[in-house]
Amino acid sequence: MDEIKTINISKPFLDQKPGTSGLRKSTKRFQEDHYLEIFIESTLQAFTEVKGSTIILGGDGRFGNKRAIAKIINICAAHRVGKVIVGKDGLLSTPAASNLIRINNAIAGIILSASHNPGGKDGDFGVKVNVSNGGPAPEVLTNKIFQISQSLISYKLCEVGITDLSNCGLSSINGMGLEIIDGVEEYTSLMEKIFDFDKISDFLKTDFSIIFDAMNAVTGPYAQKIFVEKIGLSQKALMNCKPLADFGNLHP
């Protein structure tokens, strides 16, 4: 087993009240020492049975995404979470995370996104918390997270280097399972159950044309998989489908 540390800070952060779409602050605020860690510690303490549970984790690829994921994995390991499931390359859209929460009977999902807010070093960062039904955390839970954060001056950490999120597979950290999965594949399977891809393909190839602009955000890989590989559209139907840390200065 790896050593679990308790990290102490001098005073609590008093501005960690989540809104309906989670906690959104400037990237610089989230980059401050201990800021993200205290919010995640508060979140895990707000759930009654974290030990042995499953948590879904991923984000929209904005600046700080992978660094934040590594920290969250280490905090989850210190709390004896049973398994953390992470999207490949740290990427996971909010609806894809919702699906993974439900099919894996996860206790929660932690989604690193500030939605349409600009990204990059001078942009914004955010943490959304979803619950076991796949939906956003209700106000009773977000209030509890905030209440805990108001007096929290320490957090637990199992300090293990997390460097590679690009290879799918299962590993172990402090007895906790860490599974990297292709979140795009899982979400595409869900969409195929809901929509008739063959009919959509016929329509788009004969009666209607589209251009899908992912604005260099997390939807790019999903668009590539669904519109090009599954529905059969030309690559020319897609624009800006490579996720970038600053979204290429676009506004997803």
Q: How far apart are CA 249 and CA 87, in angstroms?
A: 24
Q: How far apart are CA 170 and CA 186, in angstroms?
A: 16
Does the pLDDT value for residue 1 go beyond 60?
A: no
DSSP output for 71-119: HHHHHHHHTTBSEEEEEEEEE--HHHHHHHHHHTT-SEEEEE--TTS--
pLDDT tens digits along 126-184 = 999 999 999 999 999 999 999 999 999 999 999 887 768 999 999 999 899 999 999 99
pLDDT confidence bin for 92, thresholds 50/70/90: very high
Does the pLDDT value for residue 51 go beyond 90?
A: yes
The predicted pLDDT at position 207 comes to: 82
Q: Which helix (H) or strand (E) holds 142?
A: helix 139-149
Q: How far apart are CA 164 and CA 145, in angstroms?
A: 30
pLDDT tens digits along 106-134 = 999 999 999 889 999 999 999 999 999 99
Does the pLDDT value for residue 233 go beyond 90?
A: yes
Residue 24 has, within 13 A of its CA and on its CB side, a CA count of 14
Q: Which two tokens stand for residue 6?
A: 């308790």
Average pLDDT in the chain = 94
- The verdict on whether 115 is a catalytic residue reads yes
Q: How far apart are CA 7 and CA 216, in angstroms?
A: 36
User: Which residue among 21, 26, 115, 132 is the active-site one?
Assistant: 115
Scanning the structure block, which residue is given the tokens 């859209």? 93
Report the pLDDT averaged over residues 35-50. Answer: 96
Torsional sign, CA 158, 159, 165, 170 = negative
The predicted pLDDT at position 48 comes to: 85
The predicted pLDDT at position 252 comes to: 72
Q: How far apart are CA 113 and CA 125, in angstroms?
A: 6
pLDDT tens digits along 17-38 = 998 779 999 999 999 999 999 9
The predicted pLDDT at position 116 comes to: 87
Q: Which helix (H) or strand (E) holds 199?
A: helix 197-206
